[in-house]
Amino acid sequence: MFHSIRHSLTAFAVAAALFAGSAHAVDVTGAGSTFVQPIVAKWSASYAEKTGSHINYGGGGSGAGIAQIKAATIDFGASDKPLSPEELAAAGLGQFPIVIGGVVPVVNIEGVKAGEIKLTGAQLGDIYLGKIKKWNDPALAANNAGIKLPDAAIQVVSRSDGSGTTFNYTNYLSKVSPEWKAKVGEGTSVQWPVGVGGKGNAGVAAYVQQINGSIGYVELAYALQNKMAYTQVQNAAGKFVTPNLASFAAAASHADWKSAKDFQLVITNAPGDDSWPITATAFALIYKTPKDAARSKAVIDYFKYAYTEGGKAAEALDYVPLPAALVAQIEAYWKAEVKL
């Protein structure tokens, strides 16, 4: 909510950490995605306890993280959106996944409980395009037999601020709705055809809770904490799945990481019967040929620790740790690509 404040705090944290960094070579700084901020903070605290090395992560948003790692003012950046291999090569950066999360549609319809409504990707697209206007639209009734959907207008809620959540959500809609792809497209913020915009996950959650007949999208943690009515969504295999850590993990393991150069893969609409279709990955960005190899090594050591010992902490915060095969692939990538 306090983006500008967070911004200046980031700058301050970065500056402070740079000064501190000269004294302790193992302390490193990162910035970027606010989506991973809670888990990176949690990992950093336990990592500092274990090793004495401090990881200072300033958040600030993926855009800020990308800009700062390109300007080499931080040791690693974090982004909700993978950069293309070309962009990475131009800046001399390497990229790898940090953790998995998911975006969840939430509704506020009287009498409808969490997980009751089933929506297909195309229906989500049509709702957000303003084509399906009422909850009792026959199109929705087809896959919601047994639930009485009211004769009420659908109030669409989206994110007003740019975010990785929006990127993954619009990326998914673009994959499942050709009309969405043509008219709106994907991005950290887009021109929403209908509805209102709330600021941050908290803002969207507040709007959805306030407005009768509304639908919005938030990260899983917000849906669970606010006890909101999330929906089931049909995945690429045609099955309706409930959003939870198991279905996020399924999407992450079914996704085709092997053929993704520099891990450039958005795992929305992933294959697999039990995959949640709007699963998201956060990515770390580091220099392939760092000026200060010790610092980059410290970053890699930290993520190694996070992958091997940080799984429980991640699940407690509603994230999904990376599947073992992916971790092995990342470690091979470090060996091959990062010069230490």
Partner 1 sequence: MVMAASAESIAVPQSDETRARRDGFADRLFRRIVAGAGIFVLATLAGVALTTLWGGREAFATFGFKFVVSSDWDTVGKQFGALAPVYGTLVTAAIALIIAVPVSFGIALYLTEIAPPWLRTPVAAAIELLAGIPSIIYGMWGLFVFVPIMGRHLNPWLNEHLSGWPVVGALFSGTQYSIGLGMLTAGIVLAIMVIPFISSVMREVFLTVPTRLKESAYALGSTTWEVAWDIVLPYTRTAVIGGIFLGLGRALGETMAVTFVLGNVHRLSLSLLEPGNSIAATIANEFAEADSEIFRASLIALAFLLFVVTFIVLAIAKLMLRQMEKKEGK
Q: Please give the residue ranges that form the binding site for partner 1 (CB under 8 A).
A: 1, 3-4, 6-7, 60-64, 66, 153, 155, 160-163, 184-192, 195-199, 203, 206-207, 210-212, 214
Backbone phi, psi, residue 288, to 5°: -75, -35
Q: How far is the CB of 216 from partner 1 (least distance, A)?
A: 12
Cα 18 to its chain centre, rounded Å, is 28
Nearer to partner 1, 84 or 210 (CB): 210
Nearer to partner 1, 118 or 175 (CB): 175
Helix 164-176 with 121-129: angle, nearest 10 deg = 110
Answer yes or no: are the C-beta atoms of 167 and 81 closer than 8 Å: yes
Nearer to partner 1, 59 or 290 (CB): 59
How far is it, in rounded angstroms, from Cα 259 to Cα 261?
Answer: 6
Q: Report the nearest approach of partner 1 to the CB of residue 21 (Å).
A: 24
DSSP readout, 64-101? HHHHHHHTTSSSEEEESSPPPHHHHHHHTEEEEEEEEE
The least distance separating partner 1 from the CB of residue 108, rounded to whole angstroms, comes to: 12
Of the pair 186, 262, the CB lying nearest partner 1 is at: 186
Please state the closest distance from residue 86 (CB atom) to partner 1, in A: 16
The first and second tokens of residue 191, run together, are 């021109």
Neighbour count for residue 81 (Cβ, 10 Å): 22
| Phi (first) and psi of residue 319, to 5 degrees | -105, 165
Using CA atoms, how far residue 310 sits from 38, 47, 214, 244, 320, in Å, is 13, 9, 36, 19, 10
- 27 vs 186, which CB is nearer to partner 1? 186
Give 169 or 257: the residue with its C-beta nearer to partner 1.
169
Nearer to partner 1, 173 or 251 (CB): 173
In angstroms, the Cα distances linking 119 to 106, 165, 248, 251 are 11, 19, 17, 18
Q: Could you tell me where the DSSP H helices lie in 163-273? A: 164-176, 178-183, 200-210, 220-225, 245-254
Question: Measured from the CB of residue 268, what is the shortest distance to partner 1 in angstroms?
Answer: 16
- Minimum Å gap between C-beta 119 and partner 1 is 21
Least distance CB 106 / partner 1 (angstroms): 16
Residue 267 to residue 278: CA distance in whole angstroms: 8
